[in-house]
Amino acid sequence: GDSVTQTEGQVTVSESKSLIINCTYSTTSIAYPNLFWYVRYPGEGLQLLLKVITAGQKGSSRGFEATYNKETTSFHLQKASVQESDSAVYYCALGDWYGGSGNKLIFGTGTLLSVKP
Amino acid sequence: NAGVIQTPRHKVTGKGQEATLWCEPISGHSAVFWYRQTIVQGLEFLTYFRNQAPIDDSGMPKERFSAQMPNQSHSTLKIQSTQPQDSAVYLCASSRSGGVAETLYFGSGTRLTVL
């Protein structure tokens, strides 16, 4: 079945430094899945950060970017200069109707980002 | 727009008791999803409704878990004979029509603790 892998459980970055959170996916689908990043800020619910539904495209929001790379099956999240307010838990997710997952999203295990002032 | 509303925020039950969790989706959304979050398993899909009909319950533990959506304004997740391993944060989400590319809007979750 489909799966999403986030290798880092926790990442600590100093304010104004760059960030990359890794996400790779696996699918048996004949089509390309939809890819998402969701975020949970402290004290808030899980919310969409960005999504890309076309392979090869880039999504962006709040200074974050992620490029859908079908060759490496990756969807890494990047930001050039993080702020303390970016401290949150970030989840990569996959939606893949043709891969047998139906309409549900498959989530990675999440990466806790801590930004040091 | 109040967003997805989940009640209660916290629930503590004794082993063997029943727990009912409530979810009110965003008005106008026809799809409701239930997920469970634990440290060990992460975010696990439980079940999904569209237009109040159950579509996919492939993630539901078969014996003690059940979910219903009696009307378009609320869904319930019931756990009978709760066990300590049921302790988790239960998340409800809604989307406009349940399409796989749609944005899910999550509630704040219900933290269930089984003693």
> What is chain B's length?
115
d(CA B45, CA A3): 12
Q: Do B101 and A34 touch (CB under 8 A)?
A: yes
Q: Is A56 helix (H, G, I), strand (E, B) or coil?
A: coil
A91: chain B residues, CB-CB within 8 Å: 43
Four-point Cα dihedral B41, B93, A57, A108, nearest 10:
0
pLDDT in tens, B6-54: 999 999 999 999 999 999 999 999 999 999 999 888 899 999 999 999 9
Q: What are the beta bridge partners of residue B23?
A: B6, B75
Q: Do A105 and B56 touch (CB under 8 A)?
A: no
Q: Confirm if B64 and B80 have CB atoms less than 8 A apart.
A: yes
Which pLDDT does position A99 carry in this prediction? 60
Q: Closest to B106 (Cβ–Cβ): which among A45, A51, A110?
A: A45
Which pLDDT does position B40 carry in this prediction? 84
CA nearest to A64, candidates A45, A36, A44: A36
What proportion of chain A, given as a percentage, has pLDDT over 70?
96
DSSP output for B22-77: EEEPPTT--EEEEEEEETTTEEEEEEEEETTEEEE-TTS-TTTEEEEEEETTEEEE
d(CA B92, CA A38): 15
pLDDT in tens, A17-69: 999 999 999 987 777 789 999 999 998 999 999 999 999 999 999 999 999 99
What proportion of chain A, given as a percentage, has pLDDT over 90?
81
Which pLDDT does position B1 carry in this prediction? 64
With CA atoms as reference, the chain A residue closest to B110 would be: A45
Which pLDDT does position B112 carry in this prediction? 98
pLDDT at B75 over 80: yes
Q: Closest to A107 (Cβ–Cβ): which among B43, B50, B103?
A: B43
Q: Is A98 helix (H, G, I), strand (E, B) or coil?
A: helix
Which pLDDT does position B2 carry in this prediction? 80
